[in-house]
Amino acid sequence: MGKITAAITGVGQYLPEYILTNDELSQMVDTNDEWIMSHTGIKTRHILKGEGVGSSYMGARAVINLLDKTGIDPMSVDVVICATVTPDMFFPSTGNLIADQAGCKNAFAFDVSAACSGFLFALTTGAKFIEAGTSKRVIVVGADKMSSIVDYTDRSTCPLFGDAAAAVLLEANADGYGVIDSILHSDGSGEMQLYMKAGGSRYPASVETVQNNWHTIMWDGHAVFKAAVSKMSDVSVEMMERHNLKGEDVRFLVPHQANLRIIDATARRMGITQDKCMINIDRNGNTTAATIPTCLFDYEKELRKGDNLILAAFGGGYTWGATYVKWAYDGEKA
């Protein structure tokens, strides 16, 4: 028997109902639709409204959608891994809450924190449980309520982010479909380029941290932009070279959705035309760990068994990486 790989066998999603438009944002801060569209490619983003609802609320709904679509019994799921930078609480983990709310009572669950690369880190981790033969069904969720850490008086960050969750099911495959390879990187020296200063053990919440507005995203947008373009392109090209893939061999680039200009630059370096780039940043904005699985959800119907996908991300930390996936089913049946 050949090597066991972790095939993606289904995708689910949850998007909050409320849609925040560029026009509404321009009534909150000094910005406008023309600037946001030309600098980021974002038109709208979804925002989760309501008291006491966090990332697990969206994550559980994405998992329930996935279970409904695939007809999988929640009790048969062995592991739930949630990638998030906006957990409901420090503990218990958001994955734990999602597993409970979605009825995956037999699964063990935990979170992965790797910012915008979180989904790739979690997918790679989940695939290892399948490849090792210790788990038969693993659910990997990307869930982020970015509106909970965005400063809606800061025009340099507030247009960029949105809230969403999406999930994939991983199952064993003996025919070479699924997660083929991942190249992942971290560089903690980038910590001050994109971070949230307080709320952790370094600066626990206090009157001072709240007054100083240290519980929201801080960044050097320029530095992050430059690093994202070079690192995401380099690692994607490295993945293609490692597997002798040319631009025409790749059915879709599935890029993290931080800025349309970063996506375009990455695709150009890979020799991939824009029609082979999954894009939903215009509707969703940057939903951090949820960008890549929401793209898979949106494009699922166009995917065919055997399609080569390159998933690529860059995010705070810094963290970045690329994952090569051979798609395992015809999306039209989904």
Give the whole-angstrom CA distance, residue 272 versus residue 270: 5
Residue 236 CA, distance from chain mean position: 16
Would you call 10 helix, strand, or coil by DSSP?
Answer: strand
Told to check if 228 binds ligand UT7 by CB under 6 A, we report yes
Told to check if 142 binds ligand UT7 by CB under 6 A, we report no
Told to check if 118 binds ligand UT7 by CB under 6 A, we report no
Query: 104, 116, 158, 295: which is the annotated catalytic residue?
Result: 116
Give the whole-angstrom CA distance, residue 259 versus residue 237: 19
Name the segment binding ligand UT7 (CB under 6 A); options: 36-44, 72-80, 121-129, 135-143. Answer: 36-44
- Where would I find the H helices in the chain? 22-28, 33-40, 55-70, 94-101, 118-131, 207-211, 221-242, 260-270, 281-284, 291-299
Told to check if 120 binds ligand UT7 by CB under 6 A, we report no
Has 284 been annotated as catalytic? no
Told to check if 259 binds ligand UT7 by CB under 6 A, we report yes
Residue 160 CA, distance from chain mean position: 15
Told to check if 42 binds ligand UT7 by CB under 6 A, we report no
HSE-CB at 161 with a 13 A cutoff on CA atoms is: 26
Cα torsion 323, 329, 332, 333 to 10°: value is -140
Nearest to 147 by CA among 86, 103, 222, 76: 86
Has 286 been annotated as catalytic? yes
Per-residue binder mask for ligand UT7 (CB under 6 A), 83-102, x = binder: --------------------
Per CB under 6 A, which of residues 149..168 are in contact with ligand UT7? 155-156, 159
* Min CB(257)–ligand UT7 separation in Å: 8
Nearer CB in complex with ligand UT7: 61/231: 231
Give the whole-angstrom CA distance, residue 264 versus residue 280: 13
Choosing from 93, 124, 286, 287, the residue that interacts with ligand UT7 (CB under 6 A) is 286
* Min CB(283)–ligand UT7 separation in Å: 16
Give the whole-angstrom CA distance, residue 82 versus residue 139: 8
Nearest to 315 by CA among 202, 235, 241, 201: 235
Nearest to 323 by CA among 298, 304, 295: 295
Token pair of 215, please? Answer: 């519980």
Query: 22, 82, 256, 277: which is the annotated catalytic residue?
Result: 256
Query: Residue 300: how many CB atoms within 10 A of its CB?
Result: 20
The label of the residue with tokens 């025409």 reads 248
With contact defined as beta carbons under 8 Å apart, do 284 and 277 qualify?
A: no
Told to check if 27 binds ligand UT7 by CB under 6 A, we report no
* Min CB(195)–ligand UT7 separation in Å: 11
* Min CB(177)–ligand UT7 separation in Å: 29
Told to check if 224 binds ligand UT7 by CB under 6 A, we report yes
Nearer CB in complex with ligand UT7: 261/276: 261
* Min CB(147)–ligand UT7 separation in Å: 15
Told to check if 315 binds ligand UT7 by CB under 6 A, we report yes
Told to check if 35 binds ligand UT7 by CB under 6 A, we report yes
Choosing from 262, 277, 290, 310, the residue that interacts with ligand UT7 (CB under 6 A) is 262
Would you call 186 helix, strand, or coil by DSSP?
Answer: strand
Cis ω for the linkage preceding 299 (within 30 of 0): no
Told to check if 258 binds ligand UT7 by CB under 6 A, we report yes
Told to check if 278 binds ligand UT7 by CB under 6 A, we report no
Residues at the contact surface with ligand UT7, assessed by CB under 6 A: 31, 35-36, 39-40, 116, 155-156, 159, 221-222, 224-225, 228, 258-259, 262, 286, 314-315
Residues designated as active site: 116, 256, 286
